[in-house]
Amino acid sequence: MGRLDESVALITGASRGTGAVTARSFVEQGAVVVLGDVLDDQGRAVADDLGEAAVFVHLDVTVEADWVAAVKLASQRFGGLDVLVNNAAILDVGAIVDMDAELLSRLIAVNQIGPYLGIKHVVAPMSARDGGSVVNVASIDAMEGSNGVAAYTSSKWGLRGLTKAAAMELGRHGIRVNTVCPGAGSEEMVRPFVEEAIDRLSARTERLPDRAQRPFNREGTLEDVANAIVWLASDESSYVSGIDLVVDGAWTVGKIEPGAPFS
């Protein structure tokens, strides 16, 4: 028996990375999935690979008509909708003083307004099935602040705020709304913005004392994140709403003090 048997899910940003891995986990747990993204060819390939239980739809999360079409497809193909995973996002790396206002608007539109529109359009179909689960994928950047990612950080803190407000507003409809805050994600998101990002990041993780001060002796994986999303999507979390589920191996909790007991 799967943990998501008989569930119909819509996952945004599902053409690659966390979204694609989550779609696969959902299908493995018995769900049927609508994959939405702006990368059409990649998304179709992921859906084809998942077989009958998956279908791809072009969904730019900033376009309300795309949401209407995606929700309609879920209903026509699979009979309704139980789960929305607001996973799609974009990143920009740069100083506040250099930020272009149009780029800032686009980032906020994708990362914050997109999930808002998604929630807006799933309330009716989820209510028609006596409830559902919305999982908003934020980041550990929604738990703290870092230099160089002010736009992204603002958008992810905003997403946590949306989660809390929506959890209050939609509880009476049986709809739970939660945030997952991963400390891991796809390399493809980071690569374009930081020169030789991945090589440098992996070198850094071995070199910096910061790595030795983290409690887990490994990096997080996309599967770690997908597992948390599956749990929040499933009935196992049926009394959980409005939370931030941080999936970071306690990275943001504190530092291991060298020399202290159990270091």
* Residue choice 2, 28, 30, 39 for contact with ligand NAD (CB under 6 A): 39
Question: Smallest distance, Å, CB 257 to ligand NAD?
Answer: 26
Question: Smallest distance, Å, CB 86 to ligand NAD?
Answer: 8
Q: What angle do CA 201, 228, 165 make, to 5 degrees?
A: 100
Question: Smallest distance, Å, CB 259 to ligand NAD?
Answer: 31
Beta strand 132-137 pairing with 32-37: unpaired
**Strand, helix or coil for residue 249:** coil
Q: What's the Cα-to-Cα distance from 256 to each of 67, 144, 213, 251, 261, rounded to whole Å?
A: 45, 18, 4, 10, 10
What stretch of H or E contains 236?
none
Q: Which CB, 5 or 188, lies closer to ligand NAD? A: 188
Q: Does 58 engage in binding with ligand NAD (CB under 6 A)?
A: no
Please identify which of the residues 152, 176, 222, 237 carries the catalytic annotation. 152
Q: What angle do CA 47, 179, 252 make, to 5 degrees?
A: 115
Amino acid occupying residue 134: V
Q: Does 17 engage in binding with ligand NAD (CB under 6 A)?
A: yes
| Ramachandran bin of 130, using left for φ above 0, alpha for ψ from -120 to 50, beta for the remaining angles | left
Q: Does 139 engage in binding with ligand NAD (CB under 6 A)?
A: yes
Q: Identify each DSSP E strand in 49-193 by its residue range.
A: 54-58, 83-86, 132-137, 175-182
Amino acid occupying residue 155: S
Q: Does 185 engage in binding with ligand NAD (CB under 6 A)?
A: yes
Residues of this chain, 233-252, that bind ligand NAD according to CB under 6 A: none
* Residue choice 4, 11, 19, 25 for contact with ligand NAD (CB under 6 A): 19
Q: Does 16 engage in binding with ligand NAD (CB under 6 A)?
A: yes
Indicate if 116 belongs to the active site.
no
**Per-residue binding letters, 187-226, with ligand NAD (x by CB under 6 A):** -xxx------------------------------------
Stretch that binds ligand NAD, among 31-39, 73-81, 118-126, 196-204 (CB under 6 A): 31-39
β partners of residue 244: 179
**Per-residue binding letters, 67-106, with ligand NAD (x by CB under 6 A):** --------------------xxxx----------------
**Strand, helix or coil for residue 156:** helix
Distance CA(116)–CA(130), nearest Å, equals 21
Stretch that binds ligand NAD, among 17-25, 93-101, 170-178, 205-213 (CB under 6 A): 17-25
Given the structure tokens 């060298």, which residue do they identify? 258
* Residue choice 10, 47, 50, 61 for contact with ligand NAD (CB under 6 A): 61
Question: Smallest distance, Å, CB 263 to ligand NAD?
Answer: 27
Q: Name the burial class of residue 110, with classes exposed (0-12), middle (13-18) and buried (19+) by CB atoms within 10 angstroms of its CB.
A: buried
> Which residues form the interface with ligand NAD (CB under 6 A)?
12-13, 15-19, 37-39, 59-62, 87-90, 110, 137, 139, 182, 184-186, 188-190
> Would you please indicate which residues are annotated as catalytic (active-site) residues?
152
